[in-house]
Amino acid sequence: MGRSVRMIAATAGVVLVIALGASRAAVGALPVGSSAADTSYVVPTQPGPVQTRHAAALLYAEDHPDSAPPGSNDFECRTGPTDPDPVVLVHGSDSDSYIDWAALAPMLAERGACVFTLNYGSDGKPGKYARGDMARSAAEVADFVERVRAATTAAKVDLVGYSQGATVARYYVNRLGGAAVVDRWVGVASPTYGGNMYGIVTLLRLLPRPDRIVEWLTSEAISQQMQGSAFLAALNAGGDTVPGVRYTTIGSRYDEMIQPHSNIALRDPGATNLSVQDLCPENKGGHFNMVYDSFALGLVVRELDPTAPAPVCRPVPLGTGILDMIVVSNS
């Protein structure tokens, strides 16, 4: 669901939306390719600095729209037969590649990976990404992966998705033929079976047409990520994995959006499900902190490169990053 999943609270028939998103003008980047319908994805070209906090990355992106995560989108990068697969990073809802990947992209690049990322899923609002129909977004990812493979001469790629990005990437793998060219899929805070947002989705489903309510309040993509959505039911029908791909989910028991946290895990063959707290109990970080949590990012790096050192376990307070994101998003 990502940075912009709006925290929806429903009491006494009143629905309150706290928007964790803000608009950005789409400039300084190159529109490339197209998916179904008439939307195009954007390949960021101007690198921003390394970030260590999600809110700081968001703040920088507000002033420097469509920045590229440092170390990413070098289309001169080449891979050989013994080199790691190129890594394609897929961001979360109402976000962009810089906001979500300004920490992980440079970590991977420093280990010699060719790293690529795109801003996908516009619904026509300037500077807004990962809001439109997720099947269409997956087609954009498919197009971008082929461009990466052509540039790098790589037979296969690895995919890392955060929140909505994990599900979009899995749709591409499972439903659009991506399994033929994807080696590893890693989902960080993936809403595999949808978010209930601490029971709010259950309350909304007492109302007529809850999906349309959420779509009106937030976006089509957010409504597709609710627990029990038709989109997720169709994606997971017949098995949530397909043969030939190595799947890993990395989640938190304290995820603010995906409750119960077991909805993060894949349930079928080929999947490894990692919980931060199983490996580092004193880390109580949740959804919005995952892509800037050094332990979670260390797990991602090690899934892609087993020779990487094990991440260091350090205490992380409950709720880390939430207040900062709310303040910056609404400033």
30-54 per-position pLDDT tens digit:
444 433 444 489 999 999 999 999 9
Helices and strands counted in the chain (H then E): 12, 12
What's the pLDDT band for 200 if we cut at 50, 70, 90? Answer: confident
DSSP-derived letter for residue 270 is T
Give the mean pLDDT of 274-293: 97
Structural contact between residues 68 and 48, judged by C-beta atoms closer than 8 angstroms: yes
* For residue 183, pLDDT beyond 60: yes
Give domain status of residue 297, yes or no.
yes
pLDDT band at 1 (very low <50, low <70, confident <90, very high): low
Q: Report whether 58 contacts 91 (CB < 8 A).
A: no
**Bridge partners, residue 115, by sequence:** 72, 87
Considering its fold, how many domains does the chain have in total?
A: 1
Q: How many residues does the chain have?
A: 331
Stretch (H or E) spanning 166 = helix 164-175
Which structural domain, as residue segments, surrounds residue 172?
7-329
Query: pLDDT (tens digit, 9 = 90+) per residue, 9-34?
Result: 332 222 323 232 333 333 334 444 43
Q: What digits encode the pLDDT tens for the residues 93-110?
A: 999 999 999 999 999 999
- Whether 2 maps to a domain, the answer reads no
Burial call 158-170: b when 16+ CB within 10 Å, e when fewer: bbbbbbbbbbbbb
Contact residues for 128 (Cβ-Cβ < 8 A; gap 6+): 21, 23, 24, 94, 122
Confidence of residue 115 (pLDDT cuts 50, 70, 90): very high
Q: Mean pLDDT score of the chain, rounded to an integer?
A: 87
Instruction: Tell me the CATH number at 169.
Output: 3.40.50.1820
* Cβ neighbours of 226 (radius 10 Å): 25
| Lowest mean pLDDT, pick from 70-74, 151-155, 217-221, 277-281 | 217-221
Confidence tier at 57 by pLDDT (50, 70, 90): very high
Answer whether residue 163 shows pLDDT above 60. yes
